[in-house]
Amino acid sequence: MNESLRNYLVITGGYWAFTLTDGAIRMLVVLYFHQLGYSPFEVAMLFLFYEFFGIVTNLVGGWLGARIGLNLTMHIGMAMQVAALLMLTVPDDWLSVPYVMAAQALSGVAKDLNKMSAKASVKALAGEGQASKLFRWVAVLTGSKNALKGAGFFVGAALLQWLDFRGALYTLAGSLALVLAITAVLLPSGVGRMKSKPKFTQIFSNTPAINWLSAARFFLFGSRDVWFVVALPVFLYDALGWDFMAVGGFLALWVIGYGIVQAAAPRLIRQRHHGQGPGGGTARLTALLLMLAPAGIALALERGIDPAPVLVAGLIVFGVIFAINSAVHSYLILAYSDAEKVSMNVGFYYMANAGGRLTGTVLSGWAYQHQGLDGCLWWSAGFVATALLLSLPLPEAGVSKG
């Protein structure tokens, strides 16, 4: 096994472990605080700082990774996640909205430091002129991460039911601390560090393709989270009467399936691109198809069709198309970037990603409380339509470098 592949596997393993805790803590917070009597909008607000500080982290994190190395920023993210988990183990009387928001802020910083570091490292390890290899590696990393996040949803719900809230948090924190120690020993230093120290003003991209892709990413991920983060689990729990395990298991299976499709995206579209990576045309086509899914689910719910089979079937369709579109986006940001600037471009791009999640999360609570699940779905369709329009100027991969 060559060194670049070995390092890629170590980074992927560390990313998996972190993602498992990230999915688990999200499900723990949604279900536990809803059980404590928080309204859907109040639950959404608990994630406000999680998403907001993700925006800040991606903006600054890419610059920091270029200066000190991506392996170090990844390990800083892991350590912060351990601290965020332990913050929530205090007695219930301490768990005020501002306190939980602060813990979630720390978790948001941790998550986006870890994600930016792992994904930017792939470009550095794959090397220039390796479009097919780069697409495979980033699709496997991203797809497997999402499958593990889905598993984290189930783990979080199961631990909440078996060990209670604090027992679950201690288990997750101890496991991640162990992985942090192992990856710190195995990874070399300086992955992704630029030879010259970049100025802070260089964090903003001046490449049109990256700016258009980032804007489209904002609305793409807003379209998912506007109904998936708060509205869907609360609807399943309240309206359909599912218990914690059923809600967590269903959402886990969806995200796992989504991750599997995402990892398989290079094989699914290989013939069309003859071994090369996809381009702007694929991003536009999948966005067009994706827009129809939430609109179709909303129409079915408004006509009074049994919501359980509608949501299951609709989520499968939405998940498959969303996974392919997201995999194409994750590849394009690396394809449009030079290896020397990849961490800053990835940081800028995931800043937009975090902004979309923040907007979608807040809207998920507000729209569900005032407009119901079908209202959230119409917001989702509108966001995808906007992402499609913003994808129109995207060139084919490799046309624009920044």
Segment 291-302 mean pLDDT? 93
Which tops the pLDDT comparison, 369 or 118? 369
Q: Provide the number of structural domains found in the chain.
A: 1
Q: Indicate whether 398 belongs to any domain.
A: no
φ and ψ at residue 242, rounded to 5 degrees: -75, 150
* Residue 338 pLDDT: 66
pLDDT band with cut points at 50, 70 and 90 for residue 399: very low
- The answer as to whether 256 is a domain residue is yes
Per-residue confidence (pLDDT) for residue 401, from 0 to 100: 43
Is 37 domain-assigned?
A: yes
- Say which residues have a Cβ less than 8 Å from residue 122's Cβ, sequence separation at least 6: 8, 11, 134, 137, 138, 141, 334
pLDDT in tens, 156-210: 888 888 888 899 999 999 999 999 999 888 877 655 454 555 555 555 556 788 8
CATH code for the domain in which residue 48 is found = 1.20.1250.20
pLDDT in tens, 55-108: 777 777 666 766 677 778 888 989 999 999 999 999 888 888 888 888 988 988
pLDDT at position 91 is 87
Q: What pLDDT, on the 0 to 100 scale, is given for residue 340?
A: 57
Report if residue 66 sits inside a domain: yes
Q: Does position 50 have pLDDT exceeding 70, yes or no?
A: yes
The residue segments making up the domain with residue 368 are 3-192+202-390
**The model scores a pTM over 0.75:** no
d(CA 78, CA 70): 13
248 occurs within a structural domain: yes
395: in domain: no
Residue 230 lies in a domain: yes
In a domain, 289, yes or no: yes
What is the dihedral sign for C-alpha 239, 40, 220, 19? negative
Burial of 242 (0-12, 13-18, 19+ CB in 10 A): middle
Which amino acid, 134?
L
| Per-chain mean pLDDT for the chain | 81
Residue 309 to residues 127, 177, 306: CA-CA distances in angstroms?
Answer: 45, 40, 6
